[in-house]
Amino acid sequence: MAQRWGHKTWATAVLAAVAVLVGFLVVVQARSAGQVRPPAPPVRRAEELAALAAQAEAHRAALEAELARLRAQLAEYERLTAEGRALSAALLAEIRHYRQVLGLDPVRGPGLEVVLVPGTVPGLPLSAAVQALDLAGLVNELWASGAEAVAVNGRRVLSRSSYRQSGNRVVVDGVPLRPPFVIQAIGPADSMEAALQVRGGFVDGLRAVGVTVRVGRRPELRLPPYRGPLEYRWARPDR
């Protein structure tokens, strides 16, 4: 009985010692946990962050440089566009001028209308026909007195238009025309009429041979564009 009791007492003592040891370890562990500090960032991480910051700064500088270049390019495009518009306007004005000189566009304006009607020679049983030279001479009188655009029987003519006689017909720029001949000229009506009506002048000469000539001012005439040939066979630019 005494031996059993001694064995039990020894076991209890061992368990108590183990409990004390476990408690001590728990307390030490708890204190150690309370004193733990987060580790400082490693040097490698700091270097990576510095490299990323440098890359971001370089990228920002590159973007600013690209933005400055694009702004300068835009300003240059705007300048060239403005110059191009001015140049285009000047070219268009010059083209319109040359088209008008060449008679390539329809025109309108005040002027003079002259009608030539064949008749008979006064005192003679002969017909007074209008010849190609008569028509060419009358048109040249109009050009010389300030006409800017002329049409004969509704066909636009130029200062270099051709007039020739083909039998009883007058051929203008290769197109046969029939009387009566209606000549319309846009220009200063006063000076053109004065040139035609001068005593002993061209109109008096036509009337003297029996051609009826009617001259009248018109507040507005509308002339079509020139449809004849414009090719130069022999003349070349001398540059």
Instruction: Residue 176: name the closest of 159, 161, 163, 160 by CA.
Output: 163
Domain 107-221: assigned CATH number: 3.30.70.1880
Residue 79's contacts (CB-CB under 8 Å, 6 or more residues apart) are none
User: Token pair 């580790």 is at which residue?
Assistant: 39
Q: What is the pLDDT along the chain (239 residues), one digit of tens a residue?
A: 444 444 445 555 545 554 555 555 545 455 554 554 555 456 666 676 677 677 767 767 887 787 688 778 778 878 878 777 777 777 777 787 777 777 889 999 999 999 999 988 777 766 788 999 999 999 999 999 999 999 999 999 998 899 999 988 999 999 999 999 999 999 999 999 999 999 988 899 899 889 999 999 999 999 999 988 777 778 887 87
For 163-209, the three-class secondary structure string (H helix, E strand, C coil) is: EEEECCEEEECCEEECCCEEEEEECCHHHHHHHHHCCCCHHHHHHHC
Contact by Cβ (8 Å): 169, 178: yes
